[in-house]
């Protein structure tokens, strides 16, 4: 699953220049960046040292494992690129059609990923300066810079709506 995600994202990133109007593909490139950032973060959390692939074609048996800090750095680089995504409520495809489904990455999702990444890196890599970075991205979300987000008002709503993916 993770390797397919990375391969599909690389396919988009590497082939965007082949389209007659590559700028119209930018929403998909930003989604690919988000997917790669999230995927590498998950790989680092679940498996630690993993190969970092470079491009859509690869042979995993020939790729060396990268250190956890290297994997987290790659995840952070892609998450930072994904920060150029629009706010959730402004997501559109290349034709201008709204994309209100939560399956798509957004500026808020990228900021949340960065907050989580930096907090994790601060603990794992023992770099206290990353706590400030985590706080910066949390603050962006709290202050509405990345779109409109609201916490559930009580624990019951968390159980009856949020956990069932029925929240706004």
> pLDDT tens, 105-163?
889 999 999 999 999 999 999 999 999 999 999 999 989 898 887 777 888 887 887 77
Lowest pLDDT segment from 14-18, 22-26, 39-43, 82-86: 22-26
CA distances from 80 to 4, 25, 37, 76, 101 (A): 22, 19, 8, 6, 22
Per the CB < 8 A criterion, the answer to whether 104 and 123 are in contact is no
> pLDDT tens, 26-65?
888 999 999 999 999 999 999 999 988 876 665 656 778 8
Q: What is the pTM of this model?
A: 0.85
Q: What is the rounded CA–CA span in Å between residue 94 and residue 62?
A: 37
Q: What is the rounded CA–CA span in Å between residue 24 and residue 43?
A: 30
For residue 42, the model assigns a pLDDT of 96
Q: Say which residue, 167 or 34, is predicted with more confidence.
A: 34
> Where does the pLDDT of residue 168 fall: very low under 50, low under 70, confident under 90, or very high at 90 and above?
low
For residue 51, the model assigns a pLDDT of 85
Q: What is the rounded CA–CA span in Å between residue 131 and residue 163?
A: 27
Neighbours of 20 (CB within 10 A): 5
For residue 122, the model assigns a pLDDT of 96
Lowest pLDDT segment from 6-10, 14-18, 19-23: 19-23
Q: At what angle do helices 107-124 and 129-142 cross, to 10 degrees?
A: 160
For residue 156, the model assigns a pLDDT of 87
């Amino acid at each position: 699953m993770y390797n397919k995600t990375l391969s599909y994202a690389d396919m988009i990133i590497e082939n965007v220049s082949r389209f007659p109007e590559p700028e119209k593909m930018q929403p998909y490139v930003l989604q690919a960046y988000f997917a790669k950032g999230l995927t590498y973060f998950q790989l680092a959390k679940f498996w630690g040292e993993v190969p970092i692939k470079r491009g859509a074609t690869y042979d995993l048996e020939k790729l060396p494992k990268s250190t956890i800090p290297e994997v987290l750095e790659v995840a952070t680089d892609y998450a930072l690129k994904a920060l150029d995504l629009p706010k959730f409520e402004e997501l559109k495809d290349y034709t201008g059609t709204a994309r209100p489904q939560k399956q798509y990455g957004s500026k808020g999702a990228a900021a949340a990923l960065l907050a989580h990444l930096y907090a994790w890196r601060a603990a794992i890599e023992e770099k206290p300066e990353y706590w400030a970075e985590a706080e910066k991205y949390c603050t962006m979300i709290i202050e509405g810079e990345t779109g409109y987000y609201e916490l559930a008002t009580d624990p019951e709503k968390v159980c009856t709506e949020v956990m069932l993916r029925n929240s706004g």
